[in-house]
Amino acid sequence: MHIPDGFLATPVWAATDVIALPAVAYTARRAQRAFDEARVPLLGVLGAFVFAAQMINFPVGPGTTGHLVGGALLSFTLGPAAASVVMTAILSIQALVFQDGGVLALGANTINMALLGVLAGYLPFALWGGGRFRRLAIFAGGTLSVLVSALAALSELLVSGVKMPLPVLGLSLALFLVSAVLEGAITLAIMEALARIQPGAARAEREFARPGWPRALAMVSLAALVLASVGVLLASAAPDGLERLGEQIGINSKVRTLIHTPLSNYRAAFLHSDALGKAAAGLAGVALVYCACLVVGRMVARSRSL
């Protein structure tokens, strides 16, 4: 779900851009260390592959089709850091050349799809890809990567005050769920086909985490990632919960004096309470989740010597 410009509130796009910049620099450095410039053609060509793959329609039933998003697939074959870099490159080209997603919104879209989504896709595979539940892990990875990205995007929109009555929200969630499941199915189908023509494309089974505390942390972070994204969504949608949270943290009154006019527009019908408290709390949630995943992802990656 690529968010265009004009939808996100100033604190939201500004904060996501500020978070995304060092995050992208960090993943680029990590990927470079693991892959070095000799592999740039591979990452570029795989990025072009994902683009091209998004044009191939998968029949979901008579008359309906879906397509691959690709974050999970990339993370299984390249590892999360390189997959993040490729997804960031894809999102940038999509925003610039195809007007698919905004430029100021690139921070948010990158966090949603290139960071959170890739990590949510990779963790199930890292945890269970080496055992009996490999196929389920692949499917779960595909599903979760799209689901978490979509939920994060939805939260950002709601926190920005985009009006979404409950039926519309419900419909959006249903659609996200369907596309998430579709991604899981397509990713699994491709991985199985790949195993037949090029065994060893995905990380070897012996590379997976042995039982121990990195594994436990990985599981906790995965659970946190999913629950937090759902939680932030619910909090963003519920007018009072966040406000109370904001009051308790004491953010409301202080922040109110700092930024005024741009947000007054968002105090419209849907969110009758102060949007800033919501914005701050919602973003704090997203930021927390992100930091947790970053730390855990680092540990998981280190235990796997990516």
Partner 1 sequence: MRHVVLDRWSRGASAVHRRDPRAKIVPLLALLIAVATADRAVPLLAFELVFVLSAGLWWAGVPVLDALARAALVLPFAASFAAIAWLGGDPARGLSLALKSYVSALAVLFVVSTTPLPALLGGLGAMGAPRFLLEVAQFLYRYLFLLSEEAQRMAGAAAARNASLRSWRGSGERFRAAAGALAVLFARSYTRAADIHRAMLARGFEGRLPTLSSGRFNVADGVFAAISSVLPWALRLVAAGSRQGIS
Among 24, 126, 225, 228, binds partner 1 (CB under 8 A): 24
To 5 degrees, how large is the angle CA 298–CA 300–CA 301? 65
* Residue 68 · residue 184 · CB < 8 Å: no
The yes or no reply on residue 29 touching partner 1 (CB under 8 A) is yes
Tell me whether residue 45 or residue 216 sits nearer to partner 1 (CB atom): 45
The conformational region for residue 305 under phi > 0 = left, psi -120 to 50 = alpha, else beta, is left
Selected binder of partner 1 within 131, 135, 163, 253 (CB under 8 A): 163
Contact flag: residue 95 with partner 1 (CB under 8 A): yes
The nearest distance, CB 113 to partner 1, in angstroms, is: 15
Nearer to partner 1, 10 or 273 (CB): 10
| Min dist. Cβ of residue 226 to partner 1 (A) | 26
Structure tokens at 183: 């991604």
User: Amino acid identity, residue 233?
Assistant: L
Residues 6+ apart with CB under 8 A from 148: 112, 116, 117, 120, 225, 226, 229
Residue entry with tokens 């990025």: 47
| Region from 92-100, 141-149, 245-253, 272-280 binding partner 1, contact rule CB under 8 A | 92-100
Footprint (CB under 8 A) of partner 1, residues 249-288: 261-262, 264-265, 268-270
**What are the structure tokens assigned to 27, written together?**
């993943």
Is 292 a residue that touches partner 1 (CB under 8 A)? no
List the interface residues with partner 1, window 103-162 (CB under 8 A): 103-104, 162
Nearer to partner 1, 69 or 218 (CB): 69
- Between helices 134-159 and 117-128, what is the axis angle to 10°? 160
